[in-house]
């Protein structure tokens, strides 16, 4: 898949062709199980916008999976676990294996990244 200036140059060279031909020529296709091809228009247009200097980011703040607004609430599950979803960890740029110190208060839980001071965790 072409990106950046290579993508812009290819789009310019191709000129007036269909959107499907444009995305396909730039490499934005995947093979389907039935042998056909699927054109990845979303990835193509995101790369095109990025190449033109418009950054949509990896996700909109406050928007979770499926475009739903984040509620910023969590419920204790039946097994006693408290789950913080992927949308929230992605907003904080957290990775698998990141460790946190658990601070308990009156009906409050604070997670402080291991190695940071208390104040740093309060951003």
Say how many C-beta atoms besides its own lie within 10 A of residue 62's C-beta: 12
Rounded to the nearest angstrom, the gap between the alpha carbon of residue 50 and the centroid of all alpha carbons in its chain is: 14
At residue 121, the pLDDT reads 45
Of 6-15, 58-67, 84-93, the range with the lowest mean pLDDT is 58-67
pLDDT band at 101, cuts 50/70/90?
Answer: very high
Q: Is the pLDDT of residue 97 over 50?
A: yes
Domain ranges of the chain: 4-51, 71-122
Confidence of residue 102 (pLDDT cuts 50, 70, 90): very high
Provide the percentage of residues in the chain whose pLDDT is more than 70. Answer: 83
Q: What's the pLDDT tens digit per position in 22-72?
A: 999 999 998 888 888 899 888 898 888 888 887 666 555 555 555 667 788
pLDDT at 46: 86
DSSP 65: G
CATH class of 71-122: mainly beta
Which residue would you say has higher pLDDT here, 50 or 121?
Answer: 50
CA dihedral (49, 54, 60, 64) in degrees, to 10, reads 10
């Amino acid at each position: 898949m072409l990106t950046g200036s290579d993508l812009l140059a290819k789009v310019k060279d191709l000129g007036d062709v269909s959107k499907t031909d444009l995305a396909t020529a730039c490499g934005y296709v995947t093979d389907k199980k039935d042998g056909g091809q699927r054109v990845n228009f979303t990835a193509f247009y995101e790369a095109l916008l990025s190449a033109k200097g418009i950054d949509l980011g990896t996700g909109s703040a406050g928007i979770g999976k499926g475009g739903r607004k984040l509620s910023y609430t969590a419920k204790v599950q039946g097994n006693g676990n408290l789950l913080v979803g992927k949308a929230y960890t992605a907003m904080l740029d957290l990775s698998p294996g990141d460790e946190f110190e658990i601070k308990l208060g009156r009906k409050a839980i604070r997670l402080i990244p291991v190695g940071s001071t208390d104040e740093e965790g309060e951003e």
